[in-house]
Structure 1
Amino acid sequence: MPNMQLNAFIAALGLFAPASALLRFGCSGLTVQRLDPLVNPGMNPSAHLHQIIGGNSFNASMPAESHDLAKLSTCTSCQFTEDFSNYWTAVIFYRSKNGTFKRVPQMAQAGMEGTQGGMVVYYMSDALFDTAQKSTVTAFKPGFRMLVGDATYHDREEARKFRQLTYICMENQGTRAPESISFPTKPCPGGIMANHRFPTCWDGKNLDSPNHQDHVAYPESGTFESGGPCPATHPVRLPQILLETMWDTRAFNGDAADFADGKQPFVWATGDSTGYASHADYTFGWKDDSLQKAMDGHTYVSAPMLKTQTIAQQNQCKVPDMVGEDIDGWLQTLPGENPVV
C-alpha cells in the first residue's frame, strides 16, 4: 500500500496530523477456515468460521510456549513485513428469507484497493488520531495472546463487559460515525464496518490466561482514549489494537422486507443475529523488538523504521485449506451447523 495514497485518504477525512504517533496498516486475507487455535486448540474443524490475517505459521494448533510466530512464518499478509502476528474474527453471513446463507465478502478501504479480504490494523499509544501522542507503552512479548468479546453473548447487558466492540453503518468509505454495539437495522449503502478494540492493560506476568482475557484489563477509570489509568492488578500499559473489517453488504440491501420492523438479515458465523457476539483473537508475532521501536518512535502510519511490502505481495501470502468444506456457495446451514439465535 503506497503511503502517499493512505496519507491522502486520511487527509481527506480531516485526520492528517504529522505529529501523530500510531501504526495503521492493511492486511490481506490469509485464509478463511473453521480453525481457532486459541479457543479450540488442535480442533479441526473448530466451532465456527473465522477470517484470519497475518503470518503463515497459522495452524489448528499453536502452543504459546513453542510458537514464536516471527521465526515460524515465512511470509505475512500484512503491510509491515516484521509483523507475523495473527488476528482473526468470525465471519458474517447473509440469511435469506428461505433460510439459506451466503458468506458476506470483505472489501478494501480507500487507499488499499486491490487488497483481497483482510482488515486494517491499528496500534496506538494514545487516542486514535491524537495529534500529540507521547505516552509510553510496552509492546507485547513473544507468546502473548488475547481474546476480546464472547461468541456466546446475545444481549446488550452481556456485551457491556467489553468496551468498544462496535459497528458502523457506512454511507461511504469515509463514514466513521455513529457507532452501534448491535447490527445495524437498516441497509448500509457503503457496507458495515466491524470494529474490535482490545484491552490495554496487562498484569505484566502472564502471556495468556485460561480464558485468554484475565491477564489483560481495561483502564480502571475512563478509557484508553481519555488516558484512563490501568488498575493496580494490571499496571503495564499496552498499545491499543484496533481491527477494522469492512463487510460488503451492498449486494444484500435490495429487499426492504429484510429490514422491516427493526429486523436485519445478517448473522455471525456463530449463529448470532444480534451482533452482541462480536469477538476477535490476537497472537503476537512481531519480529524481535520492531514493534517496541515503532511505538517508541512516535511515528505516523508510515513508520520508517519498519519494512513494507506491496499489496500484491500481501495477497500472495496464504495458508492451505486444512478443513475442506464449502464456505462460498449458498449454504443450507452455517458451517458447523450453528443455529441462528
Structure 2
Amino acid sequence: MLGAGGLVAVNVYASAHETSGGNTVKQSPQGGTGQAAASEASTIDCPDVGSRLQQVPDQARAEVDRELAALDSQVSEAYQRLQSSTRAIQQDYSFAKNVIIVPLKDKRAATIDRISIAIGRVGNKPQGLKALAACTLRASGNQRDTGGNQNGREQGQENGQGQEQGNGQGQPVNGGQAGNGPVAADFVDITSVKPNVTPPRGSQQASRGSFATQCGVNENKLYNSDNVIVAPGVDNGAHHTHDYVGNQANDAFADNDDFAGGDTTCQNQGDKSSYYWPVLRLQDGTEEFDAEQQGGGAEGNAGKILTASQVTLDYVGNASSKVVAMPKFLRIITGDAKAFTNGTTNANAAWSCTGFENRQLTDKYPICPEGSSLVRTSKFQSCWDGQNVDSANHRDHVAFADPKTGACPSGFKAVPQLVQRLVYDVDAPSLNDSGQFSPFYAVDGFPEQMHKPITDHGDFVNVFDEQLMSKMVQCINTGRQCQ
C-alpha cells in the first residue's frame, strides 16, 4: 500500500520558476521562501504524448503503443518514489527535482525518441515530441483548466465546475485510504448545486428514437487493469482496474477475432460489444483481491470495489439529423483518465444523484441526500469520420455533436450515441471523530491523478452484429423506443 496515512506533504518548490535542464519546479503559492507550506501536497504533471500524435502508421502502431505504455509506467514509478520520499524531501526540497523529476525526464526523452524513430521508419517522423519529455511537480489541490473543448464536455456539464468548496486548505484532508486522494474538497453537497443541464433543441430532421441493451452490472466480476484500446498487448496498461460488461473476452491481448468469438453478458446475443469503465471503490480499509497488485493497491487504488446497482446502456439519436450505422469494431473513449494533469480539454465526467440529475458535476463528487443514490453518466461521441474505427490518439476519428444544434463537424456522420448510466447505493462520506470525512468513495485512476472526479471516463468497442445494428438505426430514425 502506498503511503497509507496521508497525502504527501512535502517541500518540493524551489524559487519561482527555477529550471534545471528544462524541468520547471513551480513556485510555492505561499511566497518566496522556495518551500511549500506543510499543508501542500504534490503530484507529478507530465505532458500527455499520446494525445499529441496525429498519425501513426499501422506498421508502427504496436511498437508505439508499447512505448506509450512505458511512459505511463515511468510516471507511475516516479510518483511512487515521490510518495515514499517524504522525509528526504522535507529535509532537502531539491531532492524531488534532482532524484525524481530530472531522471524521469531522461527516461521519457529516450522513450519519446524511440516513438519518433518507430514512426519515422515507415512514415513522416513527428516533430516537437522532445519538448514533451520534461515533467513538473505541482500542488495537488488546484485544478488547471486549459480551456477549449476538443471532443470534451457536452453542454449542461460545464456549470458544474463552479461548485467549489475551496482548494483543500483549512479543510479536513486525509488523502483517502492509499494517501493519494480524494480529499474533502473533492466533494460537494448536490443540493447546493444549481440545475445546469440544457438539452439541445431538436430540428424537424432529428432522430428521436432510442435503443436499449441490457448487459448486467458485472455480476461475473470480470476485472483487469488492461486497456485494449490505448495499450493493446500491454499488461496493466491502464494502471487502474476496470469493470467489464458485455464481451467477456476483453483483456490487453484481445483482437477483433477474439471479440467476434467472445461470450457476452448482454441479453440480446447480437450485442457482443465491450463496455468498460474504472471501478468505484469505498476506501474503508477493505483489502480487495488486487490489494498488493499493480493497478490496484500497489498503485494507490485501494478499498472495497463497489458493484453498480444498475447499469443502463441506451443509444439515442441526433438533434439535427438521422443516424447511420456504426462500423463494427469502432472504438470510442469518452473523458480523460489524466484530466487532472492534462486539463479539461477532453474531460467528460458527469456525477450526480438520483432525483437531482438536472445537476451534473465534472470536478466534484456529489454528496447525495438520504434516499438518493450516486450516478455516473458517460455520453459518448456520436459523430464518426466515416472511415476509421480508431485513430492515432484514439479521439480524432470521432467527435461530439455541437451542443447547441446537434450538428456534426464537417465531414463527420451522426451515429447512435451511447449513453452509459451507472447507479451506486453508497453512503455519503461523513465527518468522523478526527474531524475528517470518512469513508471516501473514489474512482480508480492513474496514481498521480489523485483520484480526482474529473478523471472519470468510459470505453466502448462496438461488436453489434449487422442485423441488430440495422434495427437500432431504424428504431432511432423512426422515433421508436426499442431493445
TM-score range, shorter chain: 0.5 to 0.7
Match of 2:312 in 1: 120
Whether the 8 Å contact between 1:126 and 1:227 is mirrored in structure 2 is no
* Contact kept in structure 1, 2:331 and 2:460, CA below 8 Å: yes
* Pair 1:254–1:277, CA change in 2 (3 A): closer
Amino acid at match of 2:244: I
Distance, in Å, in 2 between the alignment partners of 1:257 and 1:231 is 50
Unaligned runs of 5+ in 1: 1-18, 110-118, 128-133, 304-341
Partner of 1:106: 307
**Structure 1 residues 159 and 82, CA gap change in structure 2 (3 angstroms):** same
| Alignment check: 8 A CA contact 1:67 1:143 kept | no
1:35 to 226, 230, 233: 226
Q: State how far apart, in whole Å, the 2-side matches of 1:55 and 1:158 are.
A: 32
**Cα–Cα, structure 1 residues 188 and 45, in superposed 2: closer, same or farther, change >3 Å?**
farther
Q: Tell me which amino acid in the other structure corresponds to 1:269.
A: D
The CA deviation string for residues 271-319 of structure 1, in whole angstroms up to 9 with x for no partner, is: 443201111111110012321222213364434xxxxxxxxxxxxxxxx
Unaligned regions of 5+ residues in structure 2, if any?
1-206, 287-299
Q: Which residue identity is paired with 1:284?
A: N
Tell me the SS of whatever aligns to 2:482.
coil
Q: Which string of whole-angstrom CA distances, capped at 9 and with x for unpartnered residues, describes residues 240-272 of structure 1?
A: 11111112322xx363349x7999823221144
Equivalent in 396, 407, 424 of residue 214 of structure 1:
396
Corresponding position of 1:235: 412
Please show how residues 1-341 of structure 1 align to structure 2 within 5 Å.
21-28=209-216, 29=218, 31-46=222-237, 47-63=239-255, 66-67=256-257, 69=259, 71-73=260-262, 75-96=263-284, 101-109=302-310, 119-126=311-318, 135-154=321-340, 158-163=343-348, 165-170=349-354, 175-189=356-370, 190-219=372-401, 222-223=402-403, 226-232=404-410, 234-250=411-427, 253=428, 255-257=430-432, 265-270=440-445, 271=447, 272-297=450-475, 298=478, 300-303=480-483
> Larger helix proportion, structure 1 or 2?
2
What code does the residue aligned with 1:186 have?
I
Structure with more contact order per residue of length (Cα contacts < 8 Å, sep ≥ 6): 1
Distance in 2, matches of 1:191 and 1:143, equals 33
Give distance in 1, aligned partners of 2:467 and 2:376: 30
**What is the TM-score when the length of structure 2 is the normalising length?**
0.47
* Deviation, structure 1 residue 191: 2.8
Identical aligned residues as a percent = 21
SS at 1:101's partner residue?
Answer: coil
RMSD: 3.2
What's the CA shift string for 1:131-164, capped at 9, x where partnerless? xxx9421121122112111111117x9225345x
1:188–1:100 distance in 2 versus 1, CA, 3 Å: farther
How far apart, CA to CA, are the structure 2 residues paired with 1:185 and 1:244? 15
- Offset of 1:178 from its aligned partner? 1.5
Distance in 1 (alpha carbons) for counterparts of 2:345 and 2:250: 31
Which structure: larger Rg? 2
* Distance in structure 2 (CA, Å) of the matches to 1:263 and 1:277: 21
Q: Report the alpha carbon displacement of residue 168 of structure 1 after superposing the two structures with TM.
A: 0.8
The two structures have a TM-score, normalised by structure 1, of 0.65
Cα separation, 2, equivalents of 1:202 and 1:210: 15
Q: 1:23–1:302: 8 Å Cα contact kept in structure 2?
A: yes
CA–CA separation in structure 2 for the residues paired with 1:108 and 1:100? 21
Distance 1:264 1:138, change over 3 A: farther
What is aligned with 2:75?
A: none
Q: Which residue of 1 aligns with 2:107?
A: none
Contact 1:58–1:86 at 8 Å: present in 2 too?
yes
Asked if the contact 1:184–1:264 (Cα under 8 Å) also holds between the matched residues in 2, the reply is no
CA contact (8 A) 1:141 1:284 kept: yes
- The 8 Å contact of residues 106 and 246 in structure 1, kept in 2 or not, is answered as no
